[in-house]
Amino acid sequence: MILEKIESGPFVWYQFWCPGCERLHPLYTQNPKGPEWKFNGDMEKPTFSPSLLCSGSEPSRRCHLFVRNGQIEFCGDCHHSLAGKIVPMEDIEEEKT
């Protein structure tokens, strides 16, 4: 599976493996306390909007990306070697969580 859905009270989020950061990133679709993303509902070829920015205030850890049609589109301002590249989403494996 490339997405994992998690529900906890009023919160609903999906997490996916980021091969650039080598960790999971969450995208909240229901979050009464913060930002939310729109999701196309496709667990095989997900699209979320808007973009996701992780650690934006820390350039040495920044990851900025779009998830579109089951692919991760990394923006050029990412800290890792996948900056500016488009890669298919990877399965979340037991050892990655």
As beta bridge partners, residue 87 has 72
| DSSP secondary structure letter of residue 42 | -
CA distances from 17 to 10, 26, 72, 83 (A): 23, 9, 10, 16
Whether residue 21 contacts residue 54, with contact meaning beta carbons closer than 8 Å, is answered with: yes
Angle, alpha carbons 80-71-51 (nearest 5°): 70
Instruction: Give the mean model confidence (pLDDT) for residues 13-26.
Output: 97
- DSSP strand pairing (71-74 vs 86-88): antiparallel
Residue-wise pLDDT for 58-83, tens only, equals 888 999 999 999 999 999 999 999 99
Instruction: Give the mean model confidence (pLDDT) for residues 9-29.
Output: 97
Q: Percent of the chain scored above 70 by pLDDT? A: 96
Q: What is the pTM assigned to this prediction? A: 0.92
36, pLDDT greater than 90:
yes
Q: Rounded to whole angstroms, how far apart are CA atoms 37 and 18?
A: 17
